[in-house]
Structure 1
Amino acid sequence: MTDGGWAVVTPHALVLVIEDGGAWQVRDRRGWHEVDHADWAPEPPSIHVRWIEGDESALGLVSDERAFPTALRERVESSIVLMQERDLPGGAKVRVAIRRAEDDSLLSQVSVVGRLRGTASEQAAIDALERDARAAAGLEP
């Protein structure tokens, strides 16, 4: 990476390492199920990652080699078991993803694009979609 560290794609996580006093130290480690979205930009080469909890990371790359972004995409996609989306009456879109965590357990993640109105009917629709997705994956509601 441009900061002198390395971004490493492992089977279970994205690991950022940096040299510190002659030894490599893990600066950050995040499971693939924690990635909400990632974009690759060729000029200058970088990966922009939005994490499921809402924070973001920008990884400056020293090469425009596409192998790293391709491997990252494959790992993120492999964590998705099932995804369902629904448009809500107020214009927002809700997405429920069933994802495989590092320990092979399944979990559900709810994300929203747009602005929620905060109504009881909207919350009921979100809850119903999550229940349906969890049931489709064999998870308890």
Structure 2
Amino acid sequence: MFKIILFMHGNLAVEFIRASAMVFGEQKETVAYGLDLGCDVDELRNSIKNSILDSTSKGQEVLVLTDLMNGTPFNTMMQLGTECRFSHFTGINFPLFLEVLNRRMSQNMLSAIYGLEEAAKNSVYNCDTFLSEENIP
């Protein structure tokens, strides 16, 4: 099973994991890191780096999910990408996180991340359009 690291602003990563437990139960090898105002970003970066290195030294693949392109979690992971080996997706929303967890149950990491961009495009709906008379049979 590959490891999933969520690195997001505030408590979002913790809450993603907590809410996902209602759908899939407790998830092993899923770790949350949150960026808070005034936190020591270097210390947080080192904790994430150590987590990645610990997993990869055991032969475990790591998938990092961040919330916002060009935000501090994203930028930190881009820097760590020169020092550690992991896959990284950004712009993660809750439906996409659930998709990753679902895929992880039966697929290796390469298969699980294949097509995630397309899945992301299909995770947001305009409900007004969806419920319009044109879409009702």
Give TM-score, length-normalised by structure 1.
0.24
Question: Which structure carries more strand by proportion?
Answer: 1
| Structure possessing the higher relative contact order (Cα contacts under 8 Å, 6 or more residues apart) | 2
Structure with larger Rg: 1
Question: Which structure carries more helix by proportion?
Answer: 2
